[in-house]
């Protein structure tokens, strides 16, 4: 029987990568105020969020819930406008899908992911960055 993570992987439209601690990525959402939620994994079409900062709000979310206009903050203060929709929740994590993502923003996210993948491979092979 597949685990929850295996089910999520099978439902994704694109690969997601785990973020590096030294180069954090955030989803800036407006709930009861502006909150930066850490991104644990990022893909071209969505993210896995760590939601400790918004427990009260988290408890009212449901699959299909819109987090409203948000900003994906990539390293180097690159910002991309996104419209996240909650796809799954398991405290303290939530999986979101970015809907109506502009081509420019999707391309910027993929450029970042390709760079991240190269960095991870270099580290794994003991190469300097």
Task: Give the tens place of pLDDT for each residue, 9-40.
Answer: 445 456 789 999 899 999 999 998 899 999 99
pTM of the predicted model over 0.85: no
Give DSSP secondary structure letters for 52-106. GGGHHHHTT--TT-B--SEEEEETTTEEEEE-EEEEEEETTEEEEEE-S--HHHH
Is residue 104 assigned to a domain? yes
Residue 79 pLDDT greater than 50, yes or no: yes
Average pLDDT, the chain: 88
CATH of the domain at 72: 2.40.10.220
Output the pLDDT for position 76.
87
Is residue 128 assigned to a domain? no
Output the pLDDT for position 16.
85
Is residue 115 assigned to a domain? no
Number of domains in the chain: 1
Is residue 70 assigned to a domain? yes
| 125 or 88, higher pLDDT | 88
Is residue 117 assigned to a domain? no
Is residue 119 assigned to a domain? no
Q: The domain containing residue 78 runs over which residues?
A: 4-108
């Amino acid at each position: 029987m597949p685990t929850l993570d295996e089910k999520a992987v099978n439902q994704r439209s694109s690969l997601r990568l785990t973020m590096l601690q030294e180069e954090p990525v955030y989803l800036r959402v407006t709930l009861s105020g502006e909150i930066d939620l850490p991104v644990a994994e990022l893909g071209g079409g969505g993210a896995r969020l760590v939601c400790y900062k918004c427990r009260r709000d988290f408890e009212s979310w449901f699959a299909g819930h819109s987090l409203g206009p948000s900003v994906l903050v990539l390293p180097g203060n690159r910002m991309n406008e996104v419209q996240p929709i909650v796809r799954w929740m398991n405290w303290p994590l939530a999986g979101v899908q970015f809907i109506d993502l502009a081509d420019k923003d999707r391309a910027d996210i993929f450029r970042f992911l390709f760079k991240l993948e190269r960095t991870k491979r270099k580290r794994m092979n003991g190469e300097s960055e």
